Each structure stands twice: as C-alpha cells, then as structure tokens.
Amino acid sequence: MSITTVGIIGAGTMGNGIAQICATSGINVVMVDISEAAVAKGMATVAGSLDRLLKKEKITAADKDAALARIKGSTSYDDLKASQLVIEAATENYDLKVKILKQIDAIVPADVIIASNTSSISITKLAAVTSRAERFIGMHFFNPVPMMALVEIIRGLQTSDATHDAVQAMAKALGKSPITVKNAPGFVVNRILVPMINEAFFVLSEGLATPEDIDAGMKLGCNQPIGPLALADMVGLDVCLAVMEVYLAEFGDSKYRPCPLLREKVAAGHLGRKSGRGVYQY
C-alpha cells in the first residue's frame, strides 16, 4: 500500500511535528484540530521550525514553501477521507482517544489504516473500539519529532502483518528508524526509562548524592546526554508519576511503586520546567 496522504488529528506539539516530517518527505498532510485557532497555531509552529532549518541551511526556501503547501489545516473530519493513513495525536487520555478514534473510523474508507501516537495506552484496547482492528496500530513518535530518529511501532493483538509492514515502510520513508514492539504498558523505551527516573528519585530521597551529582554520574558514566532528574523536569514530574502508577496497576509488581519524594513534589506542584520548579529551579 502506498501512502501519499496522511491525516493527523491534533495540531499540538506531536501532531504538528508529525505533519512537518511528512510534508518535508513529500507526503500530503491534512492536520485536523477542534478550532481554527489551534490549527493556525500548529501551522505557525511548523513554519517556525522550517525557518530554523532554513537558517541552518538544512533546507532551501523552495523546500520550505513546498512543505508548507503540502499541509492542509482543517477543523473537519470529512477532510480525512482522502488519506491512506490517519494518525491520532491527541492528549494522552483514554476516553478522548476513544471518542476521536470512533469518529475517524466512521468517516474514512474501510481500507484506511488508523494509528495512535500513544505513549502508554493499550493498542489492543484502542483497536477494539474500531471496526478495523486488523488495520489499527501504534506509532509512538518521540519529542521533538523532527529531531528524534525513533518511532516505536506497536502491534496490537489484532494488527495484521500487512498493516505493520505498510506503517514500518512509511516510518522509514520519513527518515525514521522504527522498532517493532508488542503491546504492553509503556511499550519498550518508557518501560525502561521511567523506572530509571523513579530510581533516581529514590537515590535522591535517600541522600546518596546531590541532584547535580546524580545527573553528572549518569551523563558521564552511562553516556546519557541529560541526567535522569533533569529529564524528569523536562518530561514533567506529574507525567512520570502517572506512568509509574500505570505500571504498578497493570503489572501488579511492587518494583514499579512510585518514589514517595516524586509523589511529594507533584503534590507540592513542583512539576518541572512547566511550573518553574521541579528537582531544579527554572
């Protein structure tokens, strides 16, 4: 199946990033959001990102204009009908995703693949709310989408080989390096990453080292570009806590219990960069 037009639900950080890489790879995009203002903001973000690439001489002015011309902003799901693939990139909320997926499923032709850019919600469970579970898949892009090479392709229990192969080929065509993952809480990357962040909070709460030294240790000793505590501040401490809560509930294994210090900081409203204070002050 050749994918020439991609529909994207959500013009936020993830949605507009996915729209940008599709457009710069020669694929037409329909980016849908609930309001004209949200669509306009998403388009402006793409334009700004392309401007930065232009300044760095990574693309030409003609490349930028061609990419922007390939993106159509819309508030109507009807505009998704010409797509061969629709990617849902809404907020990480199960009920919201189900509502959106049912709307997409009712509008687009039966042979269209639907993907969810979820980082934690079960693909098997989401697939089951559609009439095309075998043509449903997870495409978990990483933020910032234009910069990060990885896409986790998550197969639900029902996902067909043809669907997987088409989406894997599409990810490679976008210049990404996809990995294939079975459906499980947190998939692969976050399953390893977030418990590591949680363990850094245990180390901090036990007074083993300062935040700066914990982060320096992981950067210098494990070649990580950013320490786990600084990364937690970037991701959001509330997000890290919510992910650990999901693991604890889904696996029923005490090794996933959230660190009490992480809970305490979230309760205090110290959520990281977005609140001006987390482990560090901003």
| Predicted confidence (pLDDT) per residue in 168-224, tens digit | 999 999 999 999 999 999 999 999 999 999 999 999 999 999 999 999 999 999 999
Establish whether 119 is a catalytic residue.
Answer: yes
pLDDT above 90 for 23? yes
pLDDT category of residue 111 using cuts at 50, 70 and 90? very high
pLDDT score for 275: 96
Which candidate in 83, 120, 140, 270 is catalytic? 140
Which candidate in 119, 120, 122, 183 is catalytic? 119
Q: In the predicted model, what is the mean pLDDT of residues 41-53? A: 97
Establish whether 199 is a catalytic residue.
Answer: no
Cα pseudo-dihedral 240, 244, 246, 252, rounded to 10 = 180
Phi-psi region of 114 (alpha: psi -120 to 50; beta: other; left: phi over 0): beta
Which candidate in 117, 190, 198, 270 is catalytic? 190
CA separation for the pair 83, 98 (Å, rounded): 20
pLDDT above 90 for 2? no
pLDDT category of residue 55 using cuts at 50, 70 and 90? very high
141 DSSP β-pair partners: 151
CA separation for the pair 225, 218 (Å, rounded): 9
Establish whether 140 is a catalytic residue.
Answer: yes
pLDDT category of residue 52 using cuts at 50, 70 and 90? very high
pLDDT score for 158: 97
Greater confidence, 119 or 266? 266
| Predicted confidence (pLDDT) per residue in 122-176, tens digit | 999 999 999 999 999 999 999 899 999 999 999 999 999 999 999 999 999 999 9
Establish whether 152 is a catalytic residue.
Answer: yes
CA separation for the pair 118, 186 (Å, rounded): 9
281 DSSP β-pair partners: 277
pLDDT score for 240: 95
CA separation for the pair 194, 212 (Å, rounded): 19
DSSP assignments along the chain, one per residue: ----EEEEE--SHHHHHHHHHHHHTT-EEEEE-SSHHHHHHHHHHHHHHHHHHHHTTSS-HHHHHHHHHTEEEES-GGGGGG-SEEEE---S-HHHHHHHHHHHHHHS-TT-EEEE--SSS-HHHHHTTSS-GGGEEEEEE-SSTTT--EEEEEE-TT--HHHHHHHHHHHHHTT-EEEEEES-TTTTHHHHHHHHHHHHHHHHHTTSS-HHHHHHHHHHHH--SS-HHHHHHHH-HHHHHHHHHHHHHHH--GGGPPPHHHHHHHHTT--BGGGTBSSSB-
pLDDT above 90 for 1? no
Which candidate in 49, 117, 122, 152 is catalytic? 152
Chain mean pLDDT for the chain: 96
